[in-house]
Amino acid sequence: MDKLLLVIDVQEDFFRTGRLAEKRVQFTLALNELLTQFRDKNQNIIWVRQVFKDDLSDSYLTLRQSKQKWTIEGTVGCEVLNELVQKPNEPEIIKKRYSAFFNTELEEILNAIAPSEIIIAGVNTHACVRVTAIDAYQRDYQLVLAKECIDSYDQGCHDESFGYMVNSGIGVPLSNAQIIEKLKS
């Protein structure tokens, strides 16, 4: 049975300052461990990136209203962290909203792969990770939350959202060691 690793928004802009910048080395080491294991076991990996036009005309409402800019098309900030290796055969979804399902080809790709389980990794727990996880759950996918590879710039938001996803049954939290053990079976 195919398993799939869904890697959400591990982009330079989110790891420049603050809590995620401080955890960058630890986070990327853990995610690289999963990426290596998924590739070694010939399992699927899908990358998701949030990318906006410079004028924010394609961004979500709050961002347009605030005029803050991050993950802008053509900038280093919208690129996947340079410590991570993205292979050409691994699909990439470009999204404009929190959910990786909203107006993207993700559902079509998942229908073709028909994974038995989706392992979610990425940032930010309270926004793009949580909303994508809920949308996957609403489509009846079995979800695993990669505990060492999901985080947020805000500890409180991370804790609350991660707890919500676990306590409501949306996803099962597993360590890298537990996920890797499941890949062997």
| Residue pair 129/161 in contact by the 8 Å Cβ criterion | yes
pLDDT digits (tens, 9 = 90+) for 128-168: 999 999 999 999 999 999 999 999 999 999 999 999 999 99
pLDDT of residue 1: 64
Architecture of the domain spanning 3-184: 3-Layer(aba) Sandwich (3.40)
Domain edges within the chain: 3-184
The closest alpha carbon to 117, from 97, 136, 134, belongs to 136
pLDDT of residue 67: 84
84: left (phi over 0), alpha (psi -120 to 50) or beta: beta
- For the cut 70, the answer to whether the pLDDT of residue 185 exceeds it is yes
pTM for the model stands at 0.97
